[in-house]
Amino acid sequence: MGDEKRGRNIQDLRNRLTIRPEQLAIELSAFIAEKEKTLKRDGVILGLSGGLDSAVTAALCVRAVGPKKVTALLMPEKDSDKTHIRDALSLAKTLGIRCKRIDMTGYLRKIGLYGVFPLDVFVPEKFRGKLVRRSYRFYEEISGDPYFSRTLGGAEPGLTGAIVNRSLAYYRAKHRMRMLLLYLYGEQKNRLMVGAANKTEYQIGYFVKHGIDAATDIMPIMGLYKTQVRELARYLQIADSIIEKPPSPDIIAGLNDETAIGLSYEKLDLILAAIESGWSDTDMENLLAEAGVTNRDINYVRSLAADSEHMRTVYAP
């Protein structure tokens, strides 16, 4: 056993992350169909963002119950990227599903959200993305950690902490509004609520608690790492425009997933797979040598998993 452990290498992890997409598509579609039946629903409903995860989920839903029983809600607001809107509408047309577009701007304005973090008041639209990216880099320089890591717990006192807290309230409300709308429209038609969270993001806390990808009835792709979702997307013939564009939460200008998290999904998935496989610190040295992963990367991912545990837990006395 000792020799086997010392022989662990990057290929072991890549083999672990390899999927059989044809069989997986059959299994996940059957899971959706079974839940739609046993929970006595009349079809399914999901949020369609124009991103990879929701695209794969939508395609699986079509395979499970047929396009006529799938409804997608496209819920942009004034900060949304028009590219994502276009990709979502194109995908809905390709899949043959009904897509209802609901502009959330009015709802969010009524609850005072845009006054919480009023970038549009002080920064012209064409500069907002650049400002957001610079702010993330600046925070990392002064704190030594990616901004995302600070969002998993309470921010430190002072001006920086206040900015962090207001930004969290600002973008998390958008995901929760999408959840509310999904249930509002879905329950009227007795639809099964389908979420699109993946394993990578769930394990590190890169989701909004009680948001659209956390508060749902089922999570078909929850057992798949992000790189596996991408592989499944190719099998399902999702458009290259969706597969190849940088993943983004589409909540604030200029922000994509890897900028926010501070690591590529390829490295994240290798590290998470190694942790799940029970690799020791010594075993992890193979990652350092073969995948360009640093000790800091490994410790960072371990801390994200630990610090986000509260997001996957409901506490009771």
Q: Which of 312, 206, 195 is nearest to 249 (CA)?
A: 206
Question: Please, which residues bridge with residue 84 across strands?
Answer: none
Reported as a pLDDT band with limits 50, 70 and 90, residue 219 is: very high
Residue 161 or 45, more confident: 45
Q: What pLDDT was estimated at residue 56?
A: 98
What confidence score (pLDDT) does residue 162 get?
Answer: 74
The pLDDT of residue 66 is 98
- Return all residues near 194 (Cβ < 8 A) that are at least 6 apart: 32, 44, 45, 46, 57, 61, 216, 217, 218, 219, 220
pLDDT at 194 over 80: yes
Give pLDDT, residue 149.
81
**C-alpha–C-alpha distance, residues 160 and 228, integer Å:** 36
pLDDT at 156: 65
Q: How confident is the model at residue 133 (pLDDT cuts 50, 70, 90)?
A: low
pLDDT tops 70 at residue 116: yes
Question: Which domains are assigned to the chain?
Answer: 2-312 (3.40.50.620)
Question: What pLDDT score does 84 carry?
Answer: 93
Confidence of residue 3 (pLDDT cuts 50, 70, 90): very low
Q: What is the pLDDT of residue 131?
A: 62
Does residue 206 surpass a pLDDT of 60? yes
* 257 or 30, higher pLDDT: 30
Higher pLDDT, 169 or 182: 182
Task: Please determine, for residue 2, whether its predicted confidence score (pLDDT) is greater than 60.
Answer: no
What pLDDT score was predicted for residue 165?
A: 82
Q: What is the mean pLDDT of residues 76-95?
A: 94
pLDDT at site 190: 98
| Strand ranges of the sheet holding 44-47, from the earlier edge strand across to the other edge | 98-101, 70-74, 44-47, 192-194
State mean pLDDT over 128-132: 62
**HEC per residue, the chain:** CHHHHHCCCHHHHHHHHCCCHHHHHHHHHHHHHHHHHHCCCCCEEEECCCCHHHHHHHHHHHHHHCHHHEEEEECCCCCCCHHHHHHHHHHHHHHCCEEEECCCHHHHHHCCHHHCCCHHHHCCHHHHHHHHHHHHHHHHHHHCCCHHHHCCCCCCCCHHHHHHHHHHHHHHHHHHHHHHHHHHHHHHCCCEEECCCCHHHHHHCCCCCCCCCCCCCECCCCCCCHHHHHHHHHHCCCCHHHHCCCCCCCCCCCCCHHHHHCCCHHHHHHHHHHHHCCCCCCCCHHHHHHCCCCHHHHHHHHHHHHHCHHHHCCCCC
Tens digit of pLDDT for each residue in 154-176?
A: 666 665 667 778 888 888 999 99
Contact criterion met (CB below 8 Å) for 47 and 255: no
Which of 67-71, 134-138, 197-201, 244-248 has the least mean pLDDT? 134-138
Mean pLDDT of the chain: 88
Contacts of 60 (CB under 8 A, 6+ apart): 25, 28, 29, 32, 220, 221, 236
The per-residue pLDDT for range 291-309, each reduced to its tens digit, is 889 999 999 999 999 999 9
pLDDT bin (cut points 50, 70, 90) of residue 5 is very low
pLDDT band at 249 (very low <50, low <70, confident <90, very high): confident
Whether residue 142 is predicted with pLDDT greater than 50 in this model: the reply is: yes
